[in-house]
Amino acid sequence: LALSFGITPFLLSLRKGVILLQVPGEQKVRLKLPGSYIAVCLEKNLTGADKQRLQDLEYSLFGKSGDIEVLKFPSRVYATDRGSDQIPLFQFVAEKAGNYTFSSGYAYDMEGPKIKAVLFHTDLGYVRTELFVGLGMFLVLGVLGFYFIRRNYKSSIP
């Protein structure tokens, strides 16, 4: 039972894959699951000025049902003694799975660093739903299996 709880979300996460974004730019994005998404910049060779310029990026996401609100993460306002390889960029919530157009650019069409971002699905509600469905299927199939085994065992006894 515990193994089935762990395998279901793992297989779902493998199936949905990771989405790479070219920022700035425009590209088609296929979201396989509805829910929350977070984009993270994984570039390691950015200077302090480049990291500051990333705050000037503007993002938009269009689907068949219209625009999706994209919320930028604010820059960090605290000091740290170690560098961070991951910079959170933005988040959004997609009500439906499907094809979307992602667009990004610097304000006023100014120049800035070109980066690659990774888009992660982070909706835990969807994982909980999958866990409950998996548990339900496990119980139904377990009860049916026990019933058939017991029925065959009783019929084989003379």
Interval 102-139: pLDDT, tens: 999 998 888 889 999 999 887 655 556 666 777 788 88
Nearest Cα neighbor of 117 from 85, 83, 75, 89 is 89
Q: What is the pLDDT of residue 139?
A: 85
Tokens for 143, please give them: 């009860």
In angstroms, rounded to a whole number, what is the distance separating the alpha carbons of residues 39 and 119?
4
For residues 23-33, average pLDDT: 90
Q: What is the pLDDT of residue 27?
A: 95
Q: What is the pLDDT of residue 100?
A: 95
- The alpha-helical segments, DSSP class H, found in the chain are 2-16, 48-53, 124-156
- The alpha-helical segments, DSSP class H, found in 59-123 are none
For residues 53-59, average pLDDT: 90
What is the SS3 assignment for 93? strand
Range with the poorest average pLDDT among 73-77, 81-85, 144-148: 81-85
Contacts of 96 (CB under 8 A, 6+ apart): 34, 63, 65
Tokens for 95, please give them: 């009500």
